[in-house]
Amino acid sequence: MSTHAKLTYEGKEYTLPVVEGTEGERAVDVSQLRQSSGLVALDPSFGNTAATESSITFIHGEEGILRYRGYPIEQVAERGRFTEVCYLLIYGERPSPEKLREFRKRLTYHTLLHEDMKKFFEGYPANAHPMAMLAAMFASLATFYPEESTAVDDNIARVIAKSKTIAAFAYKKSIGQPFMYPKNDLSWPANFLRMMFAVPSEPYEIPEVFEDALNLLLILHADHEQNCSTSTMRMVGSSEANLFASLSAAICALWGPRHGGANQRVIEMLEAIQEDGADLPGFLDKVKDKKSDVRLMGFGHRVYKNFDPRARILKRAADRIFNELGISDPLLELAKRLEETALEDPYFVERKLYPNVDFYSGLIYRAMGIPTSMFTVMFTLGRLPGWIAHWLEMKTDPSGYRIHRPRQIYAGPREREFDDRGTRHM
Ligand code: SDX
C-alpha cells in the first residue's frame, strides 16, 4: 500500500501521508495541508471526510457490516444485554462478571432524579415534545452534578441510569399520570417499561417479550460511528463543555427527521399511505418527483449502500414479536410491501436506497404501546452509550485533542464601505 499521496498544484508537488485503519480503510491526512500548500479541503457535508480515528464501531457500507468493538452486531444483538453493551462501548472491553455486577449496581443506585427536577416537568405544556424535555433535563443535570474530572465514571453511570427515568417522566407528564419511581430489583429495560406503563393503583406485570424486544432495540441503536449526533457530541465536547451539555446537544441533533426523528416519520408516513388507500405505486411516484419534497422515510443512508444490518434484524424481530403477541399490525404488512415495491424500482436501486434502522423500529415500539412521539426518545436511550464512548475516547486520547473548528471558503461580497446613512440614532 502506498503510504503517501501526491498533490500537484500550480507547478508544486505536495506529499501527503496516507493513514490505513484496522479494516483497510485509507485516508489522506490533510492536517498539514494548509501549512504546506495554503490550500484547505472542501467537503460540505463531510461525506468524504474522516473526522477522527476511532476504535469503537466499524461499519462497512457496501457489505452491510456493523461491529461494536469488533463484535458483529448480529451476535451482540442475539446474546448481549444492554447494560453490558454500554460497558463494552464505553470502556472498550466486555466486563468480567464482577465488574458487570458492580457497573449494574452503580446504575441501579443512580436511577433516581433529584426531587427538585420533578418540578421542571410542571412548567411544560401537556403536548410538549419529549425530545425538548429530554434536551433540557440533560443540560439541567449539570446544575446538580457539576463536572469534576474525578467524577467522570460517576457521571457516566448517572446519565445512563437517569436517562430512562427522565424519559418515563416525560411520557407520564404528557398523559397526565403520576410519575412511577424505579425499582432496584428490575433490569434496565424492565425498570423503564414499568415506569412508563405502571400506575400506582394496580400491579403491573412486565411482559418478557417486551423486555427482550426493548433490550434488542437499545442494543441496535447503541452506536453508529460518526453520525450526525455523535459528531455533535464530539464537536461540543471538544470545547470542554461538560458531559451533560454535550449530551444535550447530541439529543437536539438526533431529533431531526433526517436522523433519529425518522422513526416517528416512518409511522406517520405508513399511516398516511394507509389512509390514502395504500396506493404504493402512487406514493412512490410522489417520492420520485423531486418537486414533491416527499421522502421514503426509513430508507437511505449516508454509509450503507447495501442493507442496514439493523433493519434486517428488526424486520425478523418484528415478525417474531407480533407472532408471540398473537397480533397483526396492518402497518407491518404495509411496510413489507412498501419495501418490496421500492426495492424493485430502479429509482431506489440505482441510488442504493435500502431500509435503515428506522424503517421497522417504530412498528415494534407501537406494539409495545409506546406512542409515536416517544420514538426518538427511544433512539436517544439506545444511543447514549455510543455518544458517551466517543466523548470519552476523544477526552482520553493520549495525543490530546483540539477544539473542533473547521475552515470555510468565503463566497460573499468583497470589501465595501459601511457609509453613514444617518441610521445610528434612529
Ligand atoms: C439514521 O449516520 C448514521 O449512521 C445515522 C443512523 C445512526 O444510527 O446514527 O444510521 C440513523 O439517521 C438513519 C437515517 C434516518 N433518516 C431517514 O430515514 C430519512 C430519509 N432518508 C434520507 O433523508 C437520506 O437517505 C439520509 C439523510 C439518510 C442520507 O442522506 P444523504 O447521504 O445526504 O443522501 P442524499 O440526500 O444525498 O441522497 C442521495 C440521493 C438523492 O437523489 P439524487 O439527488 O441523487 O437524485 O438519494 C435520494 C436523494 O434525493 N434519496 C432519497 C431518500 N434518501 C436519499 N429519495 C427518497 N427517499 C429517501 N429516503
The C-alpha torsion from 45 through 47 and 48 to 52, rounded to 10°, is: 80
**Ligand 1 neighbourhood includes 253 CB (under 6 angstroms):** no
The helix (H) or strand (E) run that includes residue 60 is strand 57-60
- 358 is an active site residue: yes
Q: CA 209, CA 368: separation in Å to the nearest integer?
A: 9
Q: Which of 217, 242, 237 is nearest to 383 (CA)?
A: 217
Q: Determine the 3-state secondary structure of 5 from DSSP.
A: strand
Task: Ligand 1, residue 359: give the atom nearest the CA.
Answer: 18
CB 57 within 8 A of CB 227: no
Q: What is the phi/psi pair of residue 152, to 5°?
A: -55, -50
Q: Which of 83, 47, 85 lies closest to 69, judged by CA?
A: 85
Instruction: Compute mean pLDDT per 10 residues along the chain, 426 residues long, and list them.
Output: 94 97 97 96 96 97 96 98 98 98 95 96 95 97 84 94 98 96 96 97 92 97 98 97 97 95 93 93 95 94 93 94 90 94 95 94 94 96 98 96 97 96 90
Ramachandran region of residue 382, left (φ > 0), alpha (ψ -120 to 50) or beta?
alpha
How many A from CA of 82 to the centre of ligand 1?
A: 27
C-alpha cell at 199: 400506575
Q: What is the pLDDT of residue 28?
A: 97
- C-alpha cell at position 360: 421497522
Residue nearest to atom 2 of ligand 1 (CA): 227
- Assess whether the C-beta atom of 158 lies below 6 angstroms from ligand 1: no
Expressed in angstroms and rounded, the spacing between residue 300 Cα and the centre of ligand 1 is 4
Residue to substitute in 231, 292, 302 for testing ligand 1 pocket (most ligand atoms within 8 angstroms of CB): 302
- Helix (H) / strand (E) element for 119: namely helix 115-122
356 lines ligand 1 (CB under 6 A): yes
Whether 264 lines ligand 1, by a CB cut-off of 6 Å, is no
CA-based nearest residue to 389, from 249, 223, 228: 223
Picking from 323, 385, 377, 357, the residue whose alpha carbon sits closest to that of residue 81 is 385
How many other CB atoms are found less than 10 A from the CB of residue 248? 22
Please report the pLDDT score of residue 306 as a whole number: 87
Nearest Cα neighbor of 383 from 228, 152, 235 is 228
d(C-alpha 298, C-alpha 287), whole Å: 13
18: enclosing H helix or E strand: strand 12-20
Residue whose CA lies nearest to ligand 1 atom number 26: 301
Q: What is the pTM of this model?
A: 0.95
Contacts of 326 (CB under 8 A, 6+ apart): none
- Choosing from 219, 270, 291, 353 the residue with most ligand 1 atoms within 8 A of its CB, the one to mutate for a pocket test is 353
How close is the Cα of 258 to the center of ligand 1, in Å?
7
CA angle 279, 283, 284 (to 5 degrees): 120
Q: Which long-range contacts (CB under 8 A, 24 or more apart) does 347-351 make?
A: 347/284, 347/287, 347/288, 348/296, 348/299, 351/300
What is the dihedral sign for C-alpha 47, 231, 57, 312?
A: negative
- pLDDT recorded at residue 180: 97
DSSP-derived secondary structure letter, 307: -
Distance 351 CA to ligand 1 centre (A): 10
Residue in 110, 301, 345, 390 annotated catalytic: 301
Q: Where are the domains of the chain?
A: 4-60, 71-253
The per-residue pLDDT for 146 is: 78
SS3 409: coil
57 lines ligand 1 (CB under 6 A): no
What is the CATH architecture of 4-60?
Single Sheet (2.20)
* Dist. CA 245 → ligand 1 center (Å): 28
Q: In this predicted structure, what is the pLDDT of residue 299?
A: 95
Evaluate: CB of 298 within 6 angstroms of ligand 1.
yes
Q: Which residues partner with 156 through β-bridges?
A: none
Q: What residue owns the CA closest to ligand 1's atom 49?
A: 351
301 is catalytic: yes
DSSP label of 352: T
Tell me the CA–centroid distance for residue 307 and ligand 1, in Å: 13
Question: What's the CATH number of domain 71-253, 3.90.1150.10, 1.10.580.10, 3.30.830.10, 1.10.8.620?
Answer: 1.10.580.10
**Atom 45 (ligand 1) nearest CA:** 351
Tell me if 224 CB under 6 Å of ligand 1.
yes
Ligand 1 atom 48, closest CA: 351
The alpha carbon of 298 and the centre of ligand 1 are apart by a number of angstroms equal to 8
